[in-house]
Structure 1
Amino acid sequence: MQACWLVLALTWMPFAHATPLRVISLAPHATELAYAAGLGPNMVAASAYSDYPQPAQSLERVANYRGVKLERIIALQPDLILAWRGGNPPKPLEALAELGFTIRYLNPDTLSDIGQFIRELGHYSESPDIATRNANAFDQKLAQLNAQYRSAEPVPYFYLLSDTPLMTASNRAWPSQLFRLCGGKNIFADSPAAYPQVNMEQVITRAPKVLFHTGEQLPDSWHSMAELLPKATRQFTWSLNPDWLTRATPRALNAAEQICTALDEVRQAQ
């Protein structure tokens, strides 16, 4: 047991460097977690769409949906690479690992993982108190929302991910955790696919009481389909911030607060 704890301790010991640690992030949520952990001064490059916090916008881009710039990453000689298993292509990362680069995969399964990731990354920071403060704030806010909505009346909802084709998110998908936190009942919870393609007849039959979507307004093609829904459902239509909803970062709880407010309005109207 002592040997096990020693291995864990060594795994998360800060690097001893004469020069500042150099960090590259290959996913937007990993970039945000790095800043939350106090690694902002250490960031030398990031992926496309790493737009939060504001300083991340000026970082060199070394990854996008097409892949990663392997040669450029090697040239930058990072001490730590933050990656996303499933979101980044495996072969370039395997090549980087074989060359001796340290890669930390940040693949969250639950909301509580966010605070844990921040704490772990704080071990690499010269200001670990930043990570501790941000992780504690996240955990406290999550606990407060859990306590507030643990016994809330379930509200059936439909999350419109795409209108052509008509797609949503099942309980296997990351965003569904935020809806469940607030007492949302996913009408497509049991779909075997994380992001299933559905049809309007299924949506109507399952009778959602509220509709969520991302973006400033609903797609034009949705409006003709929505006329088939009950008027009460069309009344409760909410737009969510896509970055808050889909990224596993502290701002995910901002999306949860949006959702909780919407579901509370439905409950009050019943």
Structure 2
Amino acid sequence: MYSRALALFILLATFFVPSTFAENLSPHIAQRVITLSPHATELAYSAGLGPKLVGVSQASDYPLAAQKIEQVANYQGIKLERILALQPDLVIAWKKNASSRELEQLEKFGIPIYYSSIDSLDDISKNLRQLSLWASDPSIGQKNADIFDATLEQLRARYQTQSKVRYFYQLSQKPMMSVTTPNWPTDIFHLCGGENILTDNTVAYPQVGVEQVIALKPDVIFTPQAATTTDTIWKNWPHIPAVKNNFVWSLNPDWSSRPTMRSLKAIKQVCDYFDQARSTYAK
């Protein structure tokens, strides 16, 4: 519940600040930056905004310096009063995980909000270039974006002609959920020559039954690293090609789930696994 003072500020902001402020966002050199998701924190550092961070979201654990910054948001929402007290001149939010009502209140106070929207690998460098315009030294973000793009181009050239590997990506156990193209992180698998077994599913992050996975017979099964019970889940279904060949692998969730510079590490990890599968199925 808002304090009386905050409620009064919100009321005044509603009347005196244009609600379209965020739509007319114009970069300036930011001095006090707040990020509202772990991937936004990583992007801020890569864009040269790290020294300006005064608030981050829970689980913003990379780079290590981010762990020392005050946490002003978590999966339940944002600490609106605390964010206002920190007086940010830039807030970086994840478009798909944004608390729209609370962010609208920040916009009414005239606080610029950059909405990071990333569906593909190419969007990462795009975000870096845009965010670098808020940094005192834009060359940091521009250089990192160039490095990312050059490495991505090399990886695409290497894997674009590789044979397809049918995969199932397990996001969680209970309920068992997955992800469909073009939603993140499917572009990582696509670059490496992966073919999602859920191609006919139109839901972005669908709930999936074991029977469905059995019927679709993936060559490879991927799970987040935190899913320590993976072997227990699938060991009873040895006729699934992925299980029969011991191609049930855990991915580093920070690399695969967060669209950042470290997505390049996720690509290498996934591509290496696909190469192992190809060498077996080609025999």
Q: Same fold by TM (over 0.5)?
A: yes
Q: For 1:143, which of 153, 168, 176 is the aligned residue?
A: 153
Number of the residue aligned with 1:124: 134
**Which stretch shifts more, 185-194 or 159-168?**
159-168
Paired residues of 2:120 and 2:182 also in contact (CA < 8 A): no
SS in 2 for 1:104: strand
Letter in 2 for 1:176: T
The whole-number CA distance in structure 2 between the counterparts of 1:155 and 1:165 is: 25
Q: For 2:41, which of 13, 31, 43 is the aligned residue?
A: 31
Matches within 5 A, 1:15-164: 15=29, 21-164=31-174
1:202 Cα deviation after fit: 1.9
Letter in 2 for 1:229: I
Deviations 1:137-193 (A, max 9, x none): 111111111111111100111112223222222114201111001000110123111
Cα distance change on mapping 1:268 and 1:230 into 2, 3 Å: closer
Letter in 2 for 1:185: E
The whole-number CA distance in structure 1 between the counterparts of 2:178 and 2:102 is: 31
Cα distance change on mapping 1:34 and 1:231 into 2, 3 Å: closer
Sequence identity of aligned pairs in percent?
45
Cα distance change on mapping 1:231 and 1:188 into 2, 3 Å: closer
Matches within 5 A, 1:239-250: 239-250=250-261
Cα distance change on mapping 1:146 and 1:230 into 2, 3 Å: closer
Q: For 2:28, which of 6, 10, 14 is the aligned residue?
A: 14
The whole-number CA distance in structure 2 between the counterparts of 1:89 and 1:232 is: 40
The whole-number CA distance in structure 1 between the counterparts of 2:264 and 2:187 is: 11
1:205 Cα deviation after fit: 2.0
Paired residues of 2:220 and 2:242 also in contact (CA < 8 A): no
Paired residues of 1:200 and 1:225 also in contact (CA < 8 A): no
SS in 1 for 2:95: coil
Number of the residue aligned with 1:186: 196
1:65 Cα deviation after fit: 0.8
| Structure 2 residues not aligned, in runs of 5+ | 1-23
| Structure 1 residues not aligned, in runs of 5+ | 1-9
The whole-number CA distance in structure 1 between the counterparts of 2:184 and 2:64 is: 25
The whole-number CA distance in structure 2 between the counterparts of 1:226 and 1:168 is: 19
Letter in 2 for 1:148: R
1:12 Cα deviation after fit: 5.0
Cα distance change on mapping 1:231 and 1:151 into 2, 3 Å: closer
Deviations 1:52-103 (A, max 9, x none): 1110011101111111111111111001111122312111110111111111
The whole-number CA distance in structure 1 between the counterparts of 2:244 and 2:220 is: 5
Deviations 1:190-213 (A, max 9, x none): 311112122222212212111111
Paired residues of 1:208 and 1:233 also in contact (CA < 8 A): no
Give the aligned CA root-mean-square deviation in angstroms. 1.9
The whole-number CA distance in structure 1 between the counterparts of 2:157 and 2:231 is: 38
Cα distance change on mapping 1:118 and 1:53 into 2, 3 Å: same
TM-score for the superposition, normalised by structure 2: 0.85
The whole-number CA distance in structure 1 between the counterparts of 2:194 and 2:210 is: 20
1:234 Cα deviation after fit: 4.2
Number of the residue aligned with 2:20: none
Cα distance change on mapping 1:170 and 1:225 into 2, 3 Å: farther
SS in 2 for 1:105: strand
Paired residues of 2:235 and 2:243 also in contact (CA < 8 A): no
Paired residues of 1:171 and 1:190 also in contact (CA < 8 A): no
The whole-number CA distance in structure 2 between the counterparts of 1:161 and 1:141 is: 27
Cα distance change on mapping 1:49 and 1:255 into 2, 3 Å: same
1:220 Cα deviation after fit: 5.9
The whole-number CA distance in structure 1 between the counterparts of 2:263 and 2:200 is: 23
